Amino acid sequence: LEKIKNGLEMVLSTVQSKNKKLEEDLKREQQWYEEQKQLLDAFNKSEEEKNTNVKQLPTKSGFAELKTKLLKLKAYKKELLNAFGEFLNEHFPLPEKDENAKNENSSAEPDVKLITLQEILEILINKLITTPHEPYVTISKSFWPPYIELLLRYGIALRHPEDPNRMRLEAFHK
**Boundary (domain end) residue, out of 12, 30, 56:** 56
Answer yes or no: is 102 within a domain.
Answer: no
Task: Return the pLDDT at 95.
Answer: 78
Tens digits of per-residue pLDDT, 1-48? 999 999 999 999 999 999 999 999 999 999 999 999 999 999 999 998
Answer yes or no: is 85 within a domain.
Answer: yes
- The pTM is what? 0.54
Domain that holds residue 87: 60-92
Structural domain total, the chain: 3
Task: Return the pLDDT at 144.
Answer: 92
Examine the domain organization and report whether 84 and 115 are in the same domain: no
Tens digits of per-residue pLDDT, 41-83? 999 999 988 888 766 665 677 788 889 999 999 999 999 989 9
Average of per-residue pLDDT values in the chain: 87
Three-state SS string over the chain comes to CHHHHHHHHHHHHHHHHHHHHHHHHHHHHHHHHHHHHHHHHHHHHHHHHHHHHHHHCCCHHHHHHHHHHHHHHHHHHHHHHHHHHHHHHHHCCCCCHHHHHHHCCCCCCCCCCCECHHHHHHHHHHHHHHCCCCCCEECCCCECHHHHHHHHHCCCEEECCCCCCEEEECCCCC
Answer yes or no: is 166 within a domain.
Answer: yes
Examine the domain organization and report whether 77 and 64 are in the same domain: yes
Examine the domain organization and report whether 45 and 80 are in the same domain: no
